[in-house]
Amino acid sequence: MVDSVKIQSEVYPVLIGLMGCGKTSIGKLLSKELGLKLVDLDHYIVEKAGKTIPEIFAELGEEGFRDLESEALAEVIGQPVVLSTGGGAVMRAENRALMEAHAPVIWLKSSLEFLANRIQGDKNRPLIVGRDALTTLQQLAEIRYPYYTQCADYILHRGKLNKAASLKAVLEYLRSWQYEQHGDALSADKGTYNPLDVIEPF
C-alpha cells in the first residue's frame, strides 16, 4: 500500500550557491509552493548563537563560524523543510557528504558580475567587507565551483531569469526528481493531492 503523504513530504530541497544568488528569496517562494517551512541556515546559526554573523566571525574567526555552520547543517538537513544554506556550507567534506546524502540539492548559479553587484558593500557578509566583491567571488568560485558541482543534483543557470521564472524552473525539476524517485508509486496513486501539481501558472 502506497503511503502518498510520505512520498509528498520527501521533497525537501536544499539550496546552495555563492552569496547573493537568491537562495533565501527563491527559498521563500519555494517553501510557500511546497507548503514547507523555510530554514535559512545563517538565521538558524544566528538564533542559536545569539550573535550576528559579523559578530561570530569577529569573535570566533571563519573556522569558528564553519564549526557552527556544520553543527547547524547536521541538525537541520533531512527535516521536512526547504533549506537555504550559506555560500560556504560546501567547504567542509562532512557537509558535502550530508548534502550528497540528502537530495534534491539545487545550485542557483549566476554570473559573478551579477552577484558582485548585489552584494558589494553588504556589511553582513564578513568575507567581502572592505574588499572588492568581484575579486573575492572569483577566488571563492575557483575553490567552490567543484564542490557545488559535486553536491548539486540540479543546476539552475539563472542568467536573466527573474524570481518567478527561476521558481518555475526549480519546481519543474523537483517534479521530475520526485517522479524519478517515486514514479511508480505516484502513478499508482492517482487522485492524491500533490503540492507539485497545483502550481499556479506564471
Chain residues in the site for ligand S3P (CB under 6 A)? 19, 23, 42, 53, 86-88, 125-127
Which of residues 146 and 183 has its CB atom nearest to ligand S3P in the complex?
A: 146
The C-alpha atoms of residue 132 and residue 146 are separated, in whole angstroms, by 23
Which residues have CB under 8 Å from 27's CB, separation 6+?
Answer: 15, 38, 40, 82, 83, 84
Which of residues 25 and 176 has its CB atom nearest to ligand S3P in the complex?
A: 25
The C-alpha atoms of residue 181 and residue 174 are separated, in whole angstroms, by 10
CB of 155 to ligand S3P, least distance (A): 16
The C-alpha atoms of residue 15 and residue 105 are separated, in whole angstroms, by 6
Which of residues 19 and 36 has its CB atom nearest to ligand S3P in the complex?
A: 19
Which of residues 29 and 127 has its CB atom nearest to ligand S3P in the complex?
A: 127
CB of 58 to ligand S3P, least distance (A): 12
CB of 80 to ligand S3P, least distance (A): 21
CB of 109 to ligand S3P, least distance (A): 13
The C-alpha atoms of residue 70 and residue 66 are separated, in whole angstroms, by 6
For residue 11, give the nearest of 178, 198, 168, 156 by alpha carbon.
178
Which of residues 69 and 153 has its CB atom nearest to ligand S3P in the complex?
A: 69
Q: All 3 cell numbers of residue 71?
A: 553543527
The C-alpha atoms of residue 181 and residue 183 are separated, in whole angstroms, by 6
CB of 35 to ligand S3P, least distance (A): 23
8 A C-beta contact, residue 48 and residue 13: no
CB of 18 to ligand S3P, least distance (A): 6
8 A C-beta contact, residue 31 and residue 24: no
Which of residues 34 and 133 has its CB atom nearest to ligand S3P in the complex?
A: 133
Residue nearest to ligand S3P (CB): 86
